[in-house]
Amino acid sequence: MARFNDFNNPQGAALPAHLKQFIVDQHYEHYTPIDHAVWRYVMRQNYSYLKDVAYYPYIPGLQKAGLTIEKIPSLQEMNDALGKIGWGAVTVDGFIPPAAFMEYQAYRVLVIAADIRQLNHIEYTPAPDIIHESAGHAPIIADKDYHNYLSYFGSIGAKAMFSAQDFELYEAIRALSILKEMPNAAEEAIKQAEERVEWQQANMGEPSEMALLSRLHWWTVEYGLIGPLDDPKIYGAGLLSSIGESASCMKDNVAKLPYTIDAVKYTYDITKTQPQLFVTETFQNLIDVLEQFADTMSFRRGGEYGLQKAIDSKNTCTAVYSSGLQVSGTFTDLKTDSGQPAFIKTTGPSALAYDNKHLKGHGKEYHKDGFSSPVGLLKGYDKSLEDFTADELAAAGIEKGKEARLEFKSGITVSGKIKNIHADGGKTQLITFTNCTATDKKGVVLFDPSWGEYDMAVGERIVSVFCGAADKDAFLEIALKSQTNTFHAEYDARTKELHKLYQQVRDRRQTRGDLGYLGNVWMMLQKFHHDDWLCALEILELLEQENAEPTLAADIRQFLTTKAASQPEYRKLIEDGLYLIAHPVEEKLAV
């Protein structure tokens, strides 16, 4: 893996290797003058509207996140600012798997899509982009109650069980969002991608913990409202970064529901505006609902419930014994006794850990064919084997170098010569046998001496089960990663000429040079780029701010007014742009 640039940010520097695989370089130099104009238009519109409906002061929030209205932010600027409030930022390539996204939040690192939406998707894009991620998520990060919720959500989400169907749906959504962001995608291809998403959504089976958590994330972090039910404010990033939906969502035809645990019952479609939104009175309520849901999850319930979820997921999962020993692998078998786990089994590479740190000599290379072990109390004892003192172990015949026969209450028997006894945290966690035989109460062989040494986990109960390995980096876990790449435009000569025109306008805004030269830019726009409206709007803004070239300004205004009247798809964009020329954003607030 190439060296990761952490921008001297402690949060970024602390990221583990399995998360760094998703990080891409921002390549700031790839942003075009049109990209910066798109950013500026959206941000000015955001401030104009959101100053009245956003939960937090928009411009101060931008400044605390290292953002300005005038230009796309650099990762260095964002990390310098976010580092002051204990957060960091990295850039990724579009959608990443939900489990990874959640884990970044747990590390207090914002995931920023490096790309920016195309001009023809300026109001809303189904694909993650730098406007959504930075202008939507970052400004509210400065709110302590909110960023505590965000990181806590990440720590819960990082342990959620997910299924193969979850990843297939993620792939389908990612592919659709990429297609919809492409300027010349075939309608048939988009239709097929939409049908694939619909089919996946209809064939998910029982939703996984990750699927349900994703709903809570959507209805809070992305599309949340806060305050009184009849007069809420916006805090969700999906709304804050959509200049179309941030306005339409406040209308009466969008139902406003109190935010409770019932939000998990509501599915969502990322490609459409939302028919209802949820309103929380406080950010503390978000944590309360999350706690309520977390109590239903495998990592808190453990036992037979959690192990069965692990088996169903067919992914790498971790079971935690009451002794603290962690077993990571793909769980394939479970035996129970009186409703409690009595025997667990993984198949394929497995590993043992304690406190999320790999146990030396017990990595997946050693346990390459799987791991199995009893769970529970020894027959005739009410005290857990994990809590036996040295004298109690000796009295039970459990001593290094001696033959032992352990019979569990479940009927499982383990016999052989004890090679080693491993303890940590004041608990016996692992007993290693040579020449070992393990059988269940029916005499079925669970371990044969010919299979080698037997490492028997020690613990009365399985107290937690969660998705992923305990020590992900030692396990060298490669998270499911999409093979579908995002679209990156290649510009023809005509478009590159348009970029130059936008840059000339931008240069004059920044240097206040000869505005009369803008007449030449306008002439080139009319001759070669008659469909453009944003560059024309930026020229008009400069001219009217300085009361310069009134005839030229009148021509451009007439062009824009005619386009708005004759082309409905541009009407709101142009009218909103003209409104901002008449009611400009204060420059002192924009820097």
The predicted-structure confidence for 32-72, as pLDDT tens digits, reads as follows 999 999 999 998 988 888 878 888 777 788 888 889 889 99
Query: Does residue 40 form part of some domain?
Result: yes
Range of the domain at 430: 315-475
- In this structure, are 220 and 79 located in the same domain? yes
- In this structure, are 464 and 565 located in the same domain? no
* Cβ neighbours of 148 (radius 10 Å): 15
- In this structure, are 325 and 251 located in the same domain? no
pLDDT of 487: 59
- In this structure, are 471 and 498 located in the same domain? no
- In this structure, are 416 and 527 located in the same domain? no
- Average confidence score pLDDT of the chain: 90
| pLDDT average, residue stretch 18-23 | 89
- In this structure, are 51 and 142 located in the same domain? yes
Binding-site residues from annotation for Fe cation = 132, 137, 222
- In this structure, are 260 and 171 located in the same domain? yes
Binding-site residues from annotation = 132, 137, 222
What is the residue whose two structure tokens read 């107290």? Answer: 463
Looking at the predicted structure, is the pLDDT value of residue 284 above 90?
Answer: yes
- In this structure, are 461 and 505 located in the same domain? no
- Of the residues 475, 506, 537, the one at which a domain ends: 475
Distance CA 58, CA 46 (A): 8
pTM to 2 decimal places: 0.84
CB neighbour list of residue 537: distance below 8 Å, 6 or more residues apart:
41, 560, 574, 577, 578, 581
| pLDDT average, residue stretch 90-99 | 85
Cβ-contact 220, 233 below 8 angstroms: no
- In this structure, are 186 and 256 located in the same domain? yes
- In this structure, are 501 and 577 located in the same domain? yes
- In this structure, are 112 and 220 located in the same domain? yes
Cβ-contact 478, 13 below 8 angstroms: no
Query: Does residue 488 form part of some domain?
Result: no
> 470-482, pLDDT tens digit by residue?
998 888 655 555 5
Taking each helix axis as running N to C, give the angle between helix 493-511 and helix 534-545, from 0 to 180 degrees, rounded to the nearest 10: 20
Query: Does residue 274 form part of some domain?
Result: yes
Query: Does residue 147 form part of some domain?
Result: yes
- In this structure, are 131 and 47 located in the same domain? yes
CATH number of the domain to which 85 belongs: 1.10.800.10
Query: Does residue 76 form part of some domain?
Result: yes
Q: Domain tally for the chain?
A: 3
Query: Does residue 158 form part of some domain?
Result: yes
Distance CA 373, CA 344 (A): 6
Query: Does residue 352 form part of some domain?
Result: yes
Cβ-contact 43, 37 below 8 angstroms: no
- Of the residues 291, 306, 337, the one at which a domain ends: 291
Cβ-contact 354, 429 below 8 angstroms: yes
Query: Does residue 255 form part of some domain?
Result: yes
